[in-house]
Amino acid sequence: MEQHELTVTQRATRNTIQLFVWTLAWVGSLALASFGPKFLWAQQPVISWIAIALNVALGVGWIVAHARYLRRSEELQRKILLDATAIALGVGLVGGFAYAAAENVRLIAFESDIAFLSVLMAVVYIVATLAGNLRYR
């Protein structure tokens, strides 16, 4: 029985590491596409387009890796992650559109960018995942 549990644990660890590697690759390529033109290749448009294409390709790979991770997760973990995804998506959409509406009618004096919304959604996802793990485990 312990041998089987060890195999399940090893498989879960391998799946998590694979998702982590894809996440790092995508985030790294995003940093390269964002900061490369200023610090590495002096605003060369062709190189910038290549960096953006690499970022999109790695982003697609990350999406596929995340879907594979969810399929390979145990049922309870999949439910926790699905709930966290729904909450993060909802916060992103509701918050993003509320911000856009308030900015459109000039109720907000400061300008924000997509990075703020991305960070907000990531933080909400992490908190919702931790809360789900505490709730069900």
How crowded is residue 95: how many other Cβ atoms within 10 Å of its Cβ? 15
Domain boundaries, the chain: 1-73, 74-137
The backbone region for 73, taken as left when phi is positive above 0, alpha when psi lies in -120 to 50, beta otherwise, is beta
CB neighbours of 61 closer than 8 A, spacing ≥ 6? 22, 25, 26
Instruction: Note the pLDDT of residue 82.
Output: 95
Q: Which amino acid is at 131?
A: A
Q: What is the chain's pLDDT, residue by residue, as a tens digit (137 residues)? A: 455 566 888 888 999 999 999 999 999 999 999 999 999 999 899 999 999 999 999 999 999 999 999 999 999 999 999 999 999 999 999 999 999 899 889 898 877 788 889 999 999 999 999 999 999 87
Q: How far apart are CA 137 and CA 133, in angstroms?
A: 6
Q: How far apart are CA 137 and CA 124, in angstroms?
A: 20
Instruction: Note the pLDDT of residue 2.
Output: 53
Q: How far apart are CA 91 and CA 117, in angstroms?
A: 9
Are the beta carbons of 61 and 70 closer than 8 angstroms?
no
